[in-house]
Amino acid sequence: MTGAPASAAGGSGATPAPRGGKLGAAAVNQAGLWNIANILTMVRLLLVPGFVMLLLHDGGYDPVWRSFAWAAFAVAMITDVFDGHLARTYNLVTDFGKIADPIADKAIMGAALICLSALGDLPWWITGVILFRELGITLMRFWVIRHSVIPASRGGKVKTLAQGIAVGMYVLALTGPLATLRFWVMMAAVVLTVVTGLDYVRQAVVLRRRGLAAERVAAMEAVVAVAEVENISGERRTAGEVGGKTADDVAEPLGEPVGERVAGGRGAAEAER
């Protein structure tokens, strides 16, 4: 024998846990709700009220406190990138993460936009366009989730990055050329927001049509399958009825019962004897 005994593998013959690299399936299953991806999501949710207090401290115009608010916003944006990457890489996707992650994203971005508009730094129409798009796309995802999931596009990721950079620049107390630059960065973010939003609408309509068409095809196939089963059952019942007839019933079309023909045959045989 060339294999090692069971005791060498841990005493019970179990497969040893992988060393290094990605987490094993067992470790992932044991992590449950309290995994690193969900913890980062919860940290991002907790950062929202802290970010608002820092941004609005002392009337919202203190450059030092706004720098602290920018740091909190930056941490939230960074955790948004890492928690999704960790969840996909190590199979740490949970129902809590599916719900909490988009809520955390919309909460930190919505809080920043509303606070900036309330302070007079950002026009309300920009806040309205971005929030309307984000809320609309979220509702649209639920609208088509029964048929399929709208995948995150590259344009959507670029949009998120542009929004994060633009809002971060508005959180900081910038002046001069940097203040002008942040306006154009925000305009680019707004354009990407609208364009990617329209693309999501197109995808949602296409996916819903395909889903409804697939449901109709599946329903027709089910009806055809039921009809075929009923036809087969009917043919078997007919064959059983024929097989259950007596000899006299089968011979009846010939003009006389089988019993009488047998008796007549015996009489003829006796007469010949």
DSSP notation for 136-169: HHHHHHHHHTTT---PPPHHHHHHHHHHHHHHHH
Distances (CA, A) of 113 to 52, 81, 120, 122: 11, 20, 11, 8
pLDDT at 271: 42
**Three-state secondary structure call for residue 71:** helix
pLDDT at 4 > cutoff 90: no
Alpha-carbon distance of 131 to 109, in angstroms, equals: 9
Give the residue-averaged pLDDT of 11-30.
Answer: 42
Joined together, the tokens standing for residue 227 give 């009809």
pLDDT at 123 > cutoff 90: yes
Helix (H) or strand (E) holding 98: helix 95-118
Specify the pTM. 0.65
Encode pLDDT of 30-72 as tens digits.
Answer: 447 788 888 888 999 999 999 999 999 988 989 999 999 999 9
Alpha-carbon distance of 38 to 33, in angstroms, equals: 7
The answer to whether 32 and 94 are in contact (CB under 8 A) is: yes
Distances (CA, A) of 93 to 37, 77, 107: 8, 19, 20
User: Where residue 131 falls among pLDDT bands split at 50, 70, 90?
Assistant: very high
